Amino acid sequence: MDQSHPTFFDHGSDHVQAVLMLEALKQCGLLAVADRAPLAGGVLSAMRVGFHAYGEFGSDIELDAREAEPPRAGADRAVAGLGAERLVNAQAVQDGQVITDADLVFRADWRKAPEES
């Protein structure tokens, strides 16, 4: 990690910033659906994130993201996976422990509301 990055490390820190973890999981999630038409170049439209432990410097953090089946009808709309959306489950693991996990929803066209899909 480039700890001189002006956005992610705008002040001294003894752990990996949460905003950096969010960006890493978003990018990993985009890679998980990159070959799915029409999502090439898709945008993040919703997320649910859990932070379980600090990411520590000096030890690798492994990222994993996989496309998930959309929840059943009536489930939370933020992760409903409707229309041209794709639901991705992602996690960051350090030293065998999940430190952050997320459900990410990517849309092909951010200008359309889910009802218009």
| Mean pLDDT on 11-32 | 81
Average pLDDT, the chain: 76
Picking from 90, 99, 28, 29, the residue whose alpha carbon sits closest to that of residue 59 is 99
- Rounded CA-CA distance 87/102 in Å is 10
Helix/strand/coil for 28 = helix
Q: What is the pLDDT of residues 27-70, one digit of tens each?
A: 999 888 877 655 555 788 889 999 999 888 889 999 999 988 76
Contact criterion met (CB below 8 Å) for 29 and 67: no
pTM for this entry: 0.71
Q: In percent, how much of the chain has pLDDT > 70?
A: 62
- Rounded CA-CA distance 63/28 in Å is 7
